[in-house]
Structure 1
């Protein structure tokens, strides 16, 4: 609604205003970067845990779950302390001679991505672990008995069987990242603006419920397109 009438004014403004385009690009880019690193870090972790004996695997999953059980706000503030100019990471980097001056980690795209990766990693590991654990190990032994090397066994047997878990975990991670608010708001320091942050600004600062609602609709459409595209790609590849 605009001026009490049904209108496409808010959607037209999004297309015409460069700041909205920047917000969309930043949100999608950050979600993609976080998802990529979560997959790269989470897959080896889930695979390694699946190879452990039952008791050790339980202990490892408990360690993974500890940050997952911790409040998102607490974890975000912890990263604010670690990433700030005089934080532990910059202090150690300077003492080890890795850098000469403090790096800009807080209030940046990089710092926000690090915080989001830490938050999403346990969810991906738990999602993938169930799939990896259910893979029949006799198939791997059969491939080895037929002369396949460990690398070939992994690439041609284990990896294809684990892909459903990878795809599901990656999709959940990407979609949740699209709706992140607290972490970008705190770790971004005003230098990183995402779609949920623009929704909040339109409501609390400008009292423009129409613009906020339109952004919400666009976010839902983006999520739907991601899911449909992924379903089409996965279905096409069998």
Structure 2
């Protein structure tokens, strides 16, 4: 584009080059025209469509059945909260999730720490062992635990040789916790490792240089710095454990069934879509409430640490 300059002589025409001040001025004028560029937002459209089709719509359908099947109202929720069996199953589900989360944290924390102190080759081997469960079918892993936890299985025999067994593990809540811990350990190890790998070890050495014992320096310096990884891993494991179905169904028994199994019975066995939807809505609501409470607690804890 050309611009005309008036002066003492004849009019002159100046051609703008791509990188000249004139091109920059035109770019500024277009940016300040008041019309936002919506093209980047279109990149989110495919993900939004998938989210609505595979998450929002099924969730809305379940909630619709909970409030309308067999008749509109809160009858399904009244049935849920007035039936002692449902409350026992809900309590058992959250208790199992707490046991799984605690056990997974106790096993994963030293493992993730070992990954940070190991050499490149050792770290590669440990990472491979963590990722290996992702390459194996969930059904195969669960059936493998079914064999291992049998009364005549390897674990029971091993405990018998050291004077503890034989221990009945299959069809018990303990067996369910063992199987779920093995399946969920990667979701605890990886967040822990990502945080621990960024901790400056010189801080622990500085604490020891100031007179702190090794254990005291580790507890008072290293562990607080790793708490974001602990929180992320615990939330992922706990929320995932609440919806487990295959592992409790194969390793547990009807006496220690979880809420996911009861939802399946209501929907597939009894065709009570309203009852199953109410149980799903209650589980979702309690999970979201716990997540909100955990986020609020972590925020207040972080402010106290910073202050």
Shorter-chain TM range is: over 0.9
Q: How many Å apart are 1:196 and its aligned residue?
A: 1.0
Give the structure 2 partner of residue 226 of structure 1: 290
Q: Tell me if structure 2 keeps the 8 A contact 1:31–1:177.
A: yes
249, 253, 260: which one aligns with 1:189: 253
Q: How many Å apart are 1:3 and its aligned residue?
A: 5.6
Q: How many Å apart are 1:96 and its aligned residue?
A: 4.4
Q: Which has the larger radius of gyration?
A: 2
Give the structure 1 partner of residue 275 of structure 2: 211
Q: How many Å apart are 1:195 and its aligned residue?
A: 1.2
Partners of 1:157 and 1:92 in 2: how far apart? 39
Q: Tell me if structure 1 keeps the 8 A contact 2:245–2:261.
A: yes
159, 171, 184: which one aligns with 1:93: 159
Partners of 2:146 and 2:130 in 1: how far apart? 21
Q: How many Å apart are 1:64 and its aligned residue?
A: 2.0
Give the structure 2 partner of residue 17 of structure 1: 83
Give the structure 1 partner of residue 136 of structure 2: 70
TM-score, normalised via structure 2 length: 0.73
Q: How many Å apart are 1:69 and its aligned residue?
A: 2.4
Match of 2:256, SS state, is coil
Match of 1:237, SS state, is helix
Q: Tell me if structure 2 keeps the 8 A contact 1:108–1:188.
A: yes
Give the structure 1 partner of residue 113 of structure 2: 47
**Count of residues in correspondence between the two structures:** 236
Q: How many Å apart are 1:163 and its aligned residue?
A: 0.2
Residues 127-184 of structure 1 show CA distances to partners (whole Å, capped at 9, x for unaligned) of: 1100000111222222222222211221121111000000110011000000111100
Partners of 1:62 and 1:83 in 2: how far apart? 25
Give the structure 2 partner of residue 115 of structure 1: 179
Give the structure 1 partner of residue 150 of structure 2: 84
Mark the runs of 5 or more structure 2 residues left unpaired by the alignment: 1-66, 303-307
Partners of 2:118 and 2:129 in 1: how far apart? 14
Mark the runs of 5 or more structure 1 residues left unpaired by the alignment: none
